[in-house]
């Protein structure tokens, strides 16, 4: 018997993005009723749907597939025994209740069948009663007959134990809680803009109300919920996980950069890594009690602690990592003899363990809510915010496709080309194109031609980042091609 699933859950089961399924719904390939799709229709489209990820990938590609948020059960990461037992117990309760209902319906049908038989025997000339008795007998036989099991039903039941589905109200956003993740960790990995502060149960900013389902505490909390809040079902996202296979929470999410408060954090330098001769990657880590809440694509200001104020060692840089890992922040620095901060980085003056002050976040170069295909265009160091946006888009899992065009104007301009190739190899919905040109404006015009050649039409959202000349030239080309201004988002990165 076919089951009905939300588009989100159906995509999770067959291992494609929600955007891909939504496209198939719009094209008429996948029937939908009241926002739900049937497992029978899903299996017709995806007859080889499997729980196991494909094998034979390289280590980097396999890592991306493992982290391709909400696509597959990640290498059998099970929750704790206590949480697992609670989910199994609640499913057993649901199954027992369902059995009781079925037994009652079965007894009712038998009673009606026997009554119809008795009436037909008392009135042998009544053809209608005889037909009714026959229909009851035939119907029971058909219902009790053994039928083929829908494999998606089995997969769905298995996933309900291994991972919990969470729905957030009033937004309707959904995400999966896997392994030992807290609700906050799982929500951030899924690209949600949840409200939180310390992340360790001290501030209470991640307080939400449980509307349906159950939660289990997985870490200590110092924040005291009042008795009234407890009675209303409030809990902390950062300290709890889902104890039931389905959970509904009520909380407001950030609608944009204006909802993210400025923060000042003293971070610790973990690593300075060479990406290319003229490019370095900085890895900063925040304290456990003070994580950076930001949106993908935003920037922060860094300052080297302990230096003289007159040295002007401040630098505003885009974060080159996803908000889903709010403690580990990555930045990309290019060689620039006129920039004191960059000179310190390339001179080897920064050592692991050094303190780096951070202020932010700033900027509105962030992903908008949309189901259109996403096209990213970067020039040189403009790849940093674009990388953050791509990782966030993969976490949201809503876009039908993602495409990256990356222009280099210097010899080592494609300093993370391997990352792009790994995305393309691991993700069916991602493709990229690398280009070279000494002039950013001319390169932007060539990029626009390449976009048109690859059939990117005006029904896409475009995100541009790089030097002013590159951004302006590509923006003008897109507008001249008919792309609405509201579908073009740009950030100047020197």
Question: pLDDT for 97-114, tens place per residue?
Answer: 878 878 887 787 777 778
| Contact partners, residue 113, CB within 8 Å, separation at least 6 | 133, 136, 137, 140
Tokens of residue 417, six digits: 């080309």
Q: CA–CA separation, 178 vs 197, rounded Å?
A: 22
Residue ranges of E strands in 368-413: 374-379, 402-408
Tokens of residue 13, six digits: 């089961």
* Ordered strands of the 328-334 beta sheet: 314-318, 299-304, 355-362, 263-276, 279-285, 328-334
Place of tokens 């690209």: 191
Q: State the DSSP code for 33.
A: B
What integer best gives the mean pLDDT of the chain?
84
Supply φ then ψ for residue 2, to 5 degrees. -75, 145
pLDDT of residue 305: 65
Q: State the DSSP code for 238.
A: G
Percent of the chain with pLDDT over 70: 87
Does residue 466 carry a pLDDT above 90? yes
3-class state of residue 211 by DSSP: strand
Tokens of residue 88, six digits: 């199994």
3-class state of residue 81 by DSSP: helix
pLDDT of residue 70: 37
Q: 53 vs 79, which has greater pLDDT?
A: 79
Tokens of residue 207, six digits: 């307080």
Average pLDDT over residues 211-226: 89
**Could you read off the pLDDT of 337-391 as tens digits, one per residue?**
999 999 999 999 999 999 999 999 999 999 998 888 999 999 999 999 999 999 9
Q: How confident is the model at residue 15 (pLDDT cuts 50, 70, 90)?
A: confident
Q: What does the angle CA 357 – CA 263 – CA 170 come to, to the nearest 5 degrees?
A: 145
pLDDT of residue 294: 95
pLDDT of residue 68: 44
pLDDT of residue 14: 76
Does residue 73 carry a pLDDT above 50? no
What pTM was computed for the model? 0.75
Does residue 474 carry a pLDDT above 50? yes
Q: What does the angle CA 351 – CA 355 – CA 356 come to, to the nearest 5 degrees?
A: 100
| Contact partners, residue 8, CB within 8 Å, separation at least 6 | 18, 174
- Whether the bond between 170 and the residue before it is cis, its omega within 30 degrees of 0, is yes
pLDDT of residue 166: 93
**DSSP code string of 150-183:** PHHHHHHHHHHHHEEEEEEETT--EEEEETT--H
Q: CA–CA separation, 123 vs 129, rounded Å?
A: 8
Q: CA–CA separation, 370 vs 397, rounded Å?
A: 11
Does residue 72 carry a pLDDT above 60? no
Tokens of residue 151, six digits: 């494999």
Report strand pairing: 328-334 vs 314-318.
unpaired
């Amino acid at each position: 018997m076919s089951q009905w699933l939300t588009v989100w859950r159906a995509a999770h089961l067959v291992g494609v993005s929600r955007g891909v399924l939504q496209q198939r719904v719009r094209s008429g390939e996948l029937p939908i009723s009241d926002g739900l799709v049937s497992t029978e229709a899903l299996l017709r489209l995806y007859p080889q749907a499997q729980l196991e990820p494909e094998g034979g990938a390289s280590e980097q590609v396999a890592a991306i597939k493992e982290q391709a948020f909400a696509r597959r059960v990640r290498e059998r990461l099970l929750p704790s025994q206590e949480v697992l037992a609670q989910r199994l117990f609640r499913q057993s309760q649901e199954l027992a209740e369902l059995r009781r209902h079925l037994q009652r319906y079965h007894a009712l049908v038998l009673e009606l069948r026997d009554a119809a038989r008795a009436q037909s025997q008392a009135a042998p000339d009544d053809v209608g009663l005889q037909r009714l008795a026959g229909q009851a007998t035939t119907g029971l036989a058909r219902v009790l007959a053994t039928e083929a099991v829908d494999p998606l039903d089995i997969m769905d039941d298995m996933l309900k134990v291994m991972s919990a589905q969470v729905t957030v109200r009033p937004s309707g956003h959904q995400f999966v809680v896997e392994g030992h993740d807290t609700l906050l960790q799982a929500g951030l990995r899924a690209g949600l803009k949840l409200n939180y502060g310390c992340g360790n149960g001290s501030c209470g900013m991640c307080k939400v109300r449980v509307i349906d389902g159950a939660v289990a505490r997985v870490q200590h909390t110092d924040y005291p919920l009042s008795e009234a809040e407890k009675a209303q079902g409030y809990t902390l996202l950062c300290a709890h996980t889902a104890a039931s296979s389905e959970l509904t929470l009520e909380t407001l999410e950030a609608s944009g950069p204006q909802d993210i408060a400025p923060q000042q954090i003293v971070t610790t330098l973990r690593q300075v890594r060479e990406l290319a001769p003229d490019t370095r990657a900085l890895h900063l880590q925040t304290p456990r009690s003070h994580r950076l809440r930001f949106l993908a694509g935003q920037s922060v200001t860094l300052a080297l602690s302990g230096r003289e104020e007159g040295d002007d060692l401040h630098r505003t840089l885009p974060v080159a990592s996803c908000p889903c890992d709010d403690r580990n922040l990555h930045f990309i620095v290019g060689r620039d003899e006129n920039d004191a901060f960059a000179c310190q980085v390339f001179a080897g003056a920064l050592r692991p363990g050094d303190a780096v002050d951070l202020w932010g976040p700033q900027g509105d170069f962030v992903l908008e809510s949309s189901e259109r295909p996403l096209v990213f265009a970067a020039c040189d160091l403009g790849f940093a915010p674009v990388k953050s946006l791509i990782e966030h888009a993969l976490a949201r899992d809503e876009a039908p496709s993602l495409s990256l065009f990356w222009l280099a104007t210097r010899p080592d301009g494609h300093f993370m080309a391997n990352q792009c190739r790994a995305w393309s190899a691991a993700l069916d919905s991602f493709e990229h194109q690398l280009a070279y040109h000494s002039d950013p404006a001319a390169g932007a015009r060539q990029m626009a031609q390449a976009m048109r050649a690859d059939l990117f039409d005006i029904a896409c959202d475009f995100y541009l980042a790089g030097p002013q000349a590159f951004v302006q030239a590509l923006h003008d080309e897109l507008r001249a091609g008919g792309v609405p201004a509201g579908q073009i988002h740009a950030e100047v990165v020197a």
